[in-house]
Amino acid sequence: MDKIKVLVVFGTRPEAVKMAPIVKALKRNREHFISKICVTAQHRDMLDQVLRIFGIEPDYDLNIFESGQTLTQITCRALTGLEEVIEDFRPDLILVQGDTTTVFSGALAAFYHQVKIGHVEAGLRSGNLYSPYPEEANRMMTGVVTDFHFAPTARNKDNLMKENYPEDKIYITGNTVIDALKYVIKEDYKFDMDLLNQLDFDKKRVVLMECHRRENIGAPMENIFSAVNDIIEKYKDTELVFPMHLNPKVREIAYKIFKDKDRVHLIEPLDYEPMANLMSKVHLIVTDSGGLQEEGPTFGKPVLVVRRETERPEGIEAGTAKLLGTEYANIYNSLDLLLSNEEEYEKMAKAVNPYGDGKAAEYIIEAIKDNWK
C-alpha cells in the first residue's frame, strides 16, 4: 500500500492540545504515513504556547488572526489559505478536531478539493444549534462531509447513528485530551507565577474557575461569579483561582464582583502546561469550558458545569461532573454541598473517567490504516 498523505489542520489552543498526540502518533508511523501540519492560527499566542510545549513545528502557518475578527472573516481567510496548502501538498486525508471555525473551514476546503476528511472528536451534540455558538453548528456541518468519524464515546457514536451516518465510518476512540495530559503533568511541577507556588494545596481547598462563553456574558456570568464569591466568603479554608479570559466583558464582570476580596486570585490566562498542572492540584473545578469537563475527571476532581446544556453528557452520567445551569441558587447550593459533605465530594472524585484510557491517538491511526480504501 502506498503511504497515506495526511494533512493535520488546527487553529486554536484546545485543538492543538488534542491534535498533538495524533501528530506524534503519525510521526511514529512513518512507514504508513506522510504527514504535514497546517495551523490557521485562528488564535495566535495561545496556539503558539501549545506548539512549544509539544515541540511541534507547523509546515504551513496561515497566520490569519486579527484582533476583533468576525466568524465570517475567520472562515474566508482560512478557506483561502487552505486552498493553497491543499494544492501544494495534495493530501489524501485531512484531519480536523472538534468544533471551531477552523474545523468547519478545514472540512469545507477538503470537500471542495475532494479530499477525504477525518473528524476527531466527532458526534458531540448539545441539541441547541445556538449553544454553544457557533460550535454546535460547526461540528454538525463538518459531520456532513466527513469520511472517518472518530467518536470519543459510545454516546457520541449514538448521536451520529441517530443522524443516519453509516456505522462502518464511526470509530469509538476515547478522547485525545487524556493522551495529551500524560506529556505535561509533573509531580514536582513549579509554576512561573509565585502566587501559585505559594498556595497550600494540602491545607486549603482551592477552587479553580474558568468562565468565558459568549452565551454566559451578562446576567448569567454575574450569577456564576456571585455564587462562587459568596461560597468563598462562607468557607474560610477555601481560595479561588480564576485565570481570566482576555475578553474585556468577562474581566469587567470579574472586577465588579471579586474586586479586593480575600482569598480570590484573579490572574492572567495560563498556558496549557501550568493550567493542566494546576488542575491536578485543586480541590474542585467550576467551568463553562468544554475541555475542562474532560480533563478534570482525569485527576479525580469534581467538575461543576455552569452552562444550560452540555455536549459532553458522559461526565454527567458517570458522576464526574454536574450540569448546574447559570442560576445563582443552583451554583451556590452545589458548591455548598461539595464543601460541606465529604461523602458527596468523594462520590464525584472517585467516579470513573468516561473519556478513555489515554491511547486515543493510537486507535485513530489504527482505524485509518485498517480502513483505508
pLDDT given for residue 290 in this prediction: 81
Report the alpha-carbon distance of residue 7 to residue 75 in Å, rounded: 18
pLDDT given for residue 353 in this prediction: 87
Confirm whether pTM is higher than 0.75.
yes
pLDDT given for residue 291 in this prediction: 81
Active site residues per annotation: 99, 121, 135, 212, 214, 245
> E strand or H helix at 5, and its extent?
strand 4-10
pLDDT in tens, the chain (373 residues): 799 999 999 999 999 999 999 999 999 999 999 999 999 999 998 899 899 999 999 999 999 999 999 999 999 999 999 999 999 999 999 999 999 999 999 999 999 999 999 999 999 999 999 988 999 999 999 999 999 999 999 999 999 999 999 999 999 999 999 999 988 999 899 999 999 999 999 999 999 999 999 899 999 999 999 999 999 999 999 999 999 998 999 999 999 999 989 899 999 999 889 999 999 999 999 999 888 888 898 899 999 999 998 888 899 999 999 999 999 999 999 999 999 999 999 999 999 889 988 999 999 999 999 999 8
Report the alpha-carbon distance of residue 304 to residue 67 in Å, rounded: 31
- In terms of C-beta density within 10 A (0-12 exposed, 13-18 middle, 19 or more buried), how is residue 169 classed? middle
pLDDT given for residue 182 in this prediction: 86
* Ordered domains of the chain (ranges, CATH): 4-175+356-371 (3.40.50.2000), 194-349 (3.40.50.2000)
Report the alpha-carbon distance of residue 200 to residue 159 in Å, rounded: 43
Instruction: List, as one string, the DSSP characters of 26-37.
Output: HHHTTTTEEEEE
pLDDT given for residue 373 in this prediction: 85
Q: What is the pLDDT of residues 91-110, one digit of tens each?
A: 999 999 999 999 999 999 99
In 10 A of CB 342, how many CB atoms? 10
> Does a cis peptide bond (omega within 30 degrees of 0) precede residue 134?
yes
pLDDT given for residue 113 in this prediction: 98
Number of Cα atoms under 13 Å in the Cβ half of residue 364: 37
